[in-house]
Amino acid sequence: MVLAIIKYNAGNIQSVLYALERIGVAATVTDNQEQLKSADKVIFPGVGEAGSAMRYLKERNLDLVIKQLQQPVLGICLGMQLMCRYSEENNTDCLGIFNEKVQKFNSEELGLKIPQIGWNSIYGLKSKLFEGIEENSYCYFVHGYYAAPGEHTIATTNYDRPYSSALKKNNFYGVQFHPEKSAVVGEKILKNFLEL
């Protein structure tokens, strides 16, 4: 199996590579369009800021390439948010694969700590991505923006409100948490993705 990780100006690619290595899978980090199109699976990682990430993708036509991918694609954290329609983070139009809009947690309203950092539970698990994962399993999150629940939600998490901790549409999957840092639960989710 050829597994490609999209190379762009966002962090944590290394962490994803190491996590895959721990479960015995090699991956290619690339921004080459042909390599991405021909891979069996694609991971779209991300820690960073939505506006500059989208600019970077557009400058290299990677936005169009990602939207047209036919194989299973997994967006992680910012990667998932970029697959949504729009992000409030610097007013950014995103890829529009998922209809959901990405909004900022409002700390002033609720006395919340922003970003949310730490382990939170996921429930309402719907897809094969979560096969063998128990309801209310804990995953590691670091984010200040969230996607509201919507038609593509396949996992939900509560912070100040319920939000989408995972989304799915056709071959596209997105998770708000970091499976590469979520201990054995995260490893199982990555394995499930590789077996889709």
Partner 1 sequence: MLTKRIIPCLDVKNGRTVKGTNFVGLRDAGDPVELGALYAQQGADELVFLDITATVEKRKTLSELVSRVAHHINIPFTVGGGISSVQDVSALLESGADKISVNTSAFKRPQLIDELAKEFGSQCVVLAIDAKKEDDGEWYVYLNGGRTKTDSKCVDWAKKAVELGAGEILLTSMDHDGTKQGFALDITRTLSAQLPVPVIASGGGGSLQHFVDVFGLAHADAALAASIFHFKEIGIEELKRYLLVHQIHVRI
The residue range among 14-22, 68-76, 79-87, 126-134 that interacts with partner 1, by the rule CB under 8 A, is 14-22
CA distance 88 to 196: 32
Q: What is the DSSP string of 1-40?
A: --EEEE-SS-S-HHHHHHHHHHTT---EEE--HHHHHH-S
Closer to partner 1 by CB, 120 or 127: give it.
120
Site for partner 1 in 49-68 (CB under 8 A): 49
Q: Which of 51, 115, 149, 150 binds partner 1 (CB under 8 A)?
A: 115
Site for partner 1 in 134-153 (CB under 8 A): 138, 140-144
Q: Does residue 156 belong to the site contacting partner 1 (CB under 8 A)?
A: no
CA distance 28 to 124: 32
Q: Which of 172, 119, 174, 185 is nearest to 147 (CA)?
A: 174
Q: What is the H or E stretch that residue 175 is in? A: strand 172-175
- Active-site entry in 152, 178, 187, 195: 178
Mark whether 180 is an active-site residue.
yes
* Residues at the site binding partner 1, with contacts judged by CB under 8 A: 11-12, 14-15, 18-19, 21-22, 47-49, 107, 112-121, 138, 140-144, 158-159, 178, 180-184, 186-187
